[in-house]
């Protein structure tokens, strides 16, 4: 859904940035979208994601995290959240 420009902007998938690999990156909207599996909700995963999030925010990026289940059960809601952020970010530019 993100890779097919359905939201009017280009997303790149599996983008290396510093020591991390981002699930999806949209540079025009300064947005990172992460789809998280269960490993992200354990103590070590939460600590890693916190450090990673701080690094990405320092680069001027906003991180949207969705768990895999949320995306599978409500893909249109997830896409709507992403779309609204993109519109807000692009109108502020």
Tens digit of pLDDT at every position of the chain (93 positions) = 777 788 889 999 999 999 999 999 999 899 999 987 766 556 777 787 889 999 999 999 999 999 888 888 998 998 999 999 898 888 876
Residue in the block written with tokens 């991180």: 63
Residue 48, domain member (yes or no):
yes
Range of the structural domain that residue 59 is part of:
36-75
Residue 49, domain member (yes or no):
yes
Residue 26, domain member (yes or no):
no
Residue 19, domain member (yes or no):
no
Residue 54, domain member (yes or no):
yes
d(CA 72, CA 8): 22
Residue 45, domain member (yes or no):
yes
**Cα dist. 78→51, 54, 65, 81 in Å?**
24, 22, 10, 5
pTM of the model: 0.82
User: How much is the pLDDT for 39?
Assistant: 65
Residue 42, domain member (yes or no):
yes
Cβ count within 10 A of residue 37: 10
Number of domains in the chain: 1
Residue 20, domain member (yes or no):
no
User: How much is the pLDDT for 16?
Assistant: 97
Nearest Cα to Cα of residue 60 among 82, 36, 87, 93? 93
Do the beta carbons of residue 23 and residue 33 sit within 8 Å?
Answer: yes
Sheet holding 31-36, edge to edge: 12-17, 20-26, 31-36, 62-67
């Amino acid at each position: 859904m993100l890779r097919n420009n359905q939201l009017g902007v280009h997303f790149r998938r599996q983008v290396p940035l510093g020591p991390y690999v981002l699930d999806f990156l949209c540079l025009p909207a300064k947005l990172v979208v992460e789809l998280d599996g269960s490993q992200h909700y354990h103590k070590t995963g939460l600590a890693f994601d916190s450090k990673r999030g701080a690094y990405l925010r320092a680069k001027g990026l906003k991180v949207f995290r969705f768990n895999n289940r949320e995306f599978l059960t409500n893909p249109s809601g997830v896409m709507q959240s992403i779309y609204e952020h993109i519109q807000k970010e692009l109108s502020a530019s």
